[in-house]
Amino acid sequence: MAQPQPKSSPLSELCSALPSLPSRLQQVGRFVAANDYDATTRSMRDLAAEAGADPAAFTRLAKALGYSGWDELRAALTEARRPAQPSPFSGRTKGRRGGPDSDISLVAAKLEAEAAGLARISPGSVANAAKALNAARRIWIAGFRSCRSVAELLNYQLRLFRPDAVHLVGGSGPEDLDLGAFHRGDAVVVIGFAPYSRASVLSARAAHDSGATMIAIADTLTAPMAEGADHLLLFEAASSPGFFPSLTGAVAIAQSLAAVTFTLGGAAAKRRLEETEGRLAAMSQYVAEKG
């Protein structure tokens, strides 16, 4: 007996239908396909203004795709963006069995997967993103939930030699206050992996809207917080065994960004780092090593 075919996504339906649509609807359809997150969160009137189209064209597009109207198409787009797996962490444990030395085997498999994932990070992409950080007037770093640790690490390392220019989004208050402070000439680093936090997507949108250079550290090309990124730095989160996705690649990228940005900063960065180290030493922040 033939298995039922899974229903295609509304975006797939839209892209397949584009060639057969009237030219005006093709324009609106391409706008929706390129801005599907906005399509789920903004009003039809706002979308039409940005697309340079009549609001009614969005209704006509939905009906051309077989929906009753724009509200039904938007609901389908919203549903398609929900994580497919309701248990993103516990679901990764299914099918695993214990046994003799299973703990050692898991550690060995995890270390092997981490090493393989690190080898696939693009050095050139990281170096290009570091150039953008070096050129930026201010640097904003956005990471939430489990990605907060990566954001704090990058914030700490960059502030050692750019203390007045680096800011952690949400570090001193609600993150929405920082989102309104993004400006052209700034660089915004957004870190995320599936399931993606809403705050990371909003940070990426704010960066894009402000005209700031956006650097996304993400697990896939289609990550919603990577949409519109000027620099996309990919790491492997899901290939490593264990109940929780891996942040090893994200940490490696963050530390590489800090290292290259420092090198590009030249003598000025070295001087500021020495000043910071001198201040830390004067405040006795580190335990003195015994001779």
For 197-213, how does the pLDDT look when each residue is reduced to its tens digit (9 = 90+)?
889 999 999 999 999 99
- CATH code: domain 10-80 is 1.10.10.10
Q: Return d(Cα 185, Cα 169) in angstroms, integer.
A: 17
What is the average pLDDT score of the chain? 85
Of 65-79, 105-119, 187-201, give the range with the top mean pLDDT.
187-201
Task: Return residue ranges of the chain for CATH 1.10.10.10.
Answer: 10-80
Give yes or no for residue 273 having a pLDDT over 60. Answer: yes
Give yes or no for residue 52 having a pLDDT over 80. Answer: yes
Confidence at 232, pLDDT banded by 50, 70, 90: very high
85: phi then psi, degrees, rounded to nearest 5:
-110, 115
Please name the fold of domain 118-282: Rossmann fold (3.40.50)
How far, CA to CA in Å, does 184 sit from each of 128, 136, 180, 208, 211?
Answer: 18, 9, 12, 9, 5
> The dihedral of CA 263, 268, 271, 276: what is its sign?
negative
Beta bridge partners of 215: 189, 231
Tell me what pLDDT residue 257 has.
98
Q: Helix (H, G, I), strand (E, B), or coil: what is residue 98?
A: coil
Task: Return residue ranges of the chain for CATH 3.40.50.10490.
Answer: 118-282
Q: Return d(Cα 76, Cα 9) in angstroms, integer.
A: 8
Give yes or no for residue 249 having a pLDDT over 90. Answer: yes
Confidence at 195, pLDDT banded by 50, 70, 90: confident
Residue pair 253/121 in contact by the 8 Å Cβ criterion: yes
How far, CA to CA in Å, does 247 sit from each of 32, 36, 90, 242, 258?
Answer: 32, 27, 17, 12, 17
Q: Helix (H, G, I), strand (E, B), or coil: what is residue 232?
A: strand
Residues 6+ apart with CB under 8 A from 248: 114, 117, 118, 235, 240
Q: What tokens appear for 24 in the block?
A: 């005006």
